[in-house]
Amino acid sequence: MIWLYGLTFCRVVIELVFLFSSVGKLRNISQFQQTITNFRLLPARMSRPTSLLFVGAEVAVVLLVALGGRFLPPGFLLAIILLLIFSGALISVLARQIQTSCNCFGSNERPVTQADIWRNAVFVLCALGGSSLTLGRISPEGLELVTWLLIGGIAIIFVLTASFLGDIVQLFR
């Protein structure tokens, strides 16, 4: 039964991360396009199709993870791929000392920091954990509402803490 709680936690975390991320980007898709341009990894003309592809993939993660069952493993896999791609882009920005914002969860002015990479690493580990917990098992959807709410509350606190990791680090400096 413990594996089911772990799977539910990972599922809710990934669902929340990609829901917040995709909604934030969709609210200002042009800003996300500009972020991709600012990263200077692709020609500027590729920013629009790349932004649309990335947001579409994030929405796909939300749908796959929400559907659960046999859609859960591909949802976790797609989440891992997207997080690794974006982490690679963030590492590149830091290595080249480009001063730009991440806009990972929508428009903001905070510059990319190492905390963004650590945040993504935490989410990758969560998606890997969820993926490993689905191996050889069919994801039962039969948890009681109270259990979903409790795990969901813990997941919300976890996502918020990880998402604002950079701000939290700054408080202690």
Between CA 130 and CA 4 the distance in angstroms is 10
Q: How many beta carbons lie within 10 A of that of residue 11, not counting itself?
A: 25
Mean pLDDT score across all residues of the chain: 89
pLDDT of residue 140 exceeding 60: no
Neighbours of 99 (CB within 10 A): 8
Express each pLDDT in 47-86 by its tens digit.
999 999 999 999 999 999 999 888 999 999 999 999 999 9
Rounded average pLDDT over 125-149:
80
Could you report the per-residue pLDDT of 19-54, keeping only the tens digit for each? 999 998 999 898 889 889 999 999 999 999 999 999
